[in-house]
Structure 1
Amino acid sequence: MGTHTAPPAPPLGLREAKKQESRQLISDAATRLFLAQGFEQTTIAEIAAAARVAKKTVTNYFPHKEDLALDRQDAFITSLAGTVSGRRPGESALAALRRAFTEALAATDPVAGFSGPGFARMTADSPTLTTRLRDLHDLREAALAETLAEATGVPRDDITVCTAAGLLGTVHRVLFDRIQQLTLAGRSTARIRTEVAAAAEHAFDLLEPSLADYATA
């Protein structure tokens, strides 16, 4: 019997590409099932079968079932904090967030709430996803507070930081919910943009008297 030589390990880039491909296949299979039969009614075993992988493979990539449905969680949690961190010279936190929301609205960004009617209905019908979404809004507000504290050089529990993060987080939460509500009501994307743009203008205006110059870069 000849000596067996193991093939060289693939480059890290190739291994990572294969992992991303597997992750996407699982995510796509889960999304199809969730939309077809509902989040609560779909099991990990069904997702694994649809993706042609083992259940353990699914949970290795997605430790919690909610992770399969809300796969933009990290981007969502860091979105407001990242906008404030990257604000332009002379731009306040409010101005930066207002500008970023306008851009997200134009781009129909899923992080802003543009998920499509099927996904919006699936989320609304699932107590698990509804609860997780509330948690994500809270985590996003907490991340924003951390960034505002760093930007203004005060402790994280400073009352101004907590209040500012709460106000700014709430505006984005309200606008996210408005987009979801209009989506469920069957409004077109163009109409949602128009209605939410007007709502955002009013909502951000309400914060101008107190936060116009807060955390200016």
Structure 2
Amino acid sequence: MAEPMGLRERKKLQTATRIYRVAVGLFVERGFDHVSVQEIADAAEVSKMTVFNYFRTKEDLVFHPMEEHFSDAARAVRERQPGESAVAAVRRQFLELVESRDPSVGLNPEPLSRQVRQLVMGTPVLMERAFLTFQKGTRELADLLAAETGDLMLATVAAATLSAARNALVEEHHRRIAEGESADQVAADAAERARKAFDLVEKGLKDYAVKA
């Protein structure tokens, strides 16, 4: 069981959360390129130095709270139980995130995660960082699998396939909500869709889309 946070840690978390939410609000309202760190500090009622104590760069004000999730698949494989396959581990973890309605998979009803996604999609410098960070997570998974199996090429194929399956599921959640469905409606069949997606990965593609 995790140790409860002390007062100092709680205050630091509260400060970081306030800065993050203020920054995202300003970015969404005015555009990432049109908001300075000093303006964020003023709106959050902290110094500019305090902002940089919590977030190393302006881009971190968008990515820092969610960047750890780019390594979720590698974490699931690294921590899996003996006898559990890589696909089973990633599927299990994803289903747990679906069950908890985690913002990282696009199912949390709070609009903040979707605002962040729209911000990233509409800002080239943030899109580039998102792409590179996604690739870094896939490479981390590939290196982990290669260390276990001794075959980097097949490990790279497996990692790319698992990462693509996760990303396709998350994109589907965001697409449906953007088209008007509620987070509750999308979550209702999210687990079933996830099982189908990872079943496809697990079974391979030899019988997929055979032309009549």
Give the TM-score taking structure 2 as reference length.
0.79
Q: Is the 8 A contact 1:98 1:204 kept in 2?
A: yes
Q: Is the 8 A contact 2:55 2:64 kept in 1?
A: no
Q: Quote the Cα distance in structure 2 between the aligned partners of 1:29 and 1:185.
A: 27
Aligned with residue 95 of structure 1, among 66, 88, 92? 88
Aligned to 1:154: 150
Q: Is the 8 A contact 1:137 1:173 kept in 2?
A: no
Aligned with residue 33 of structure 2, among 28, 34, 40? 40
Q: Is the 8 A contact 1:26 1:51 kept in 2?
A: yes
Is 1:126 matched up with 2:123?
A: yes
Structure 1: runs of 5 or more not aligned: 1-12, 212-217
Cα deviation 1:33-91 (Å, max 9, x = unaligned): 23333333322121011122222332232122221122334421321111112212321
Structure 2: runs of 5 or more not aligned: 1-5, 206-212
Is 1:111 matched up with 2:104?
A: yes
Amino acid at match of 1:46: E
Aligned to 1:171: 165
Is 1:139 matched up with 2:136?
A: yes
Q: After the TM superposition, which segments of 4 or more aligned residues of structure 1 sit over 4 Å from their partners?
A: 13-18
Amino acid at match of 1:174: A
Q: Quote the Cα distance in structure 2 between the aligned partners of 1:127 and 1:114.
A: 25
Q: Quote the Cα distance in structure 2 between the aligned partners of 1:141 and 1:90.
A: 22
Is 1:61 matched up with 2:57?
A: no
Amino acid at match of 1:154: G
Aligned to 1:184: 178
Give the TM-score taking structure 1 as reference length.
0.77
Q: Quote the Cα distance in structure 1 between the aligned partners of 2:65 and 2:11.
A: 20
Amino acid at match of 1:125: G
Greater length-normalized contact order (CA 8 Å, ≥ 6 residues apart)? 1
Aligned with residue 28 of structure 1, among 1, 16, 21? 21
**Percent of aligned pairs with the same residue?**
34
Q: Quote the Cα distance in structure 1 between the aligned partners of 2:103 and 2:89.
A: 19
RMSD between aligned residues: 2.5
Q: Is the 8 A contact 1:108 1:114 kept in 2?
A: yes
Q: Report the 3-state secondary structure (helix = DSSP H, G, I; strand = E; otherwise coil) of the residue aligned with 2:198.
A: helix
Question: Relative to 1, partners in 2 of residues 1:106 and 1:20: Cα closer, same or farther, differing over 3 Å?
Answer: closer
Question: Relative to 1, partners in 2 of residues 1:196 and 1:129: Cα closer, same or farther, differing over 3 Å?
Answer: farther
Aligned to 1:202: 196
Question: Relative to 1, partners in 2 of residues 1:46 and 1:186: Cα closer, same or farther, differing over 3 Å?
Answer: farther
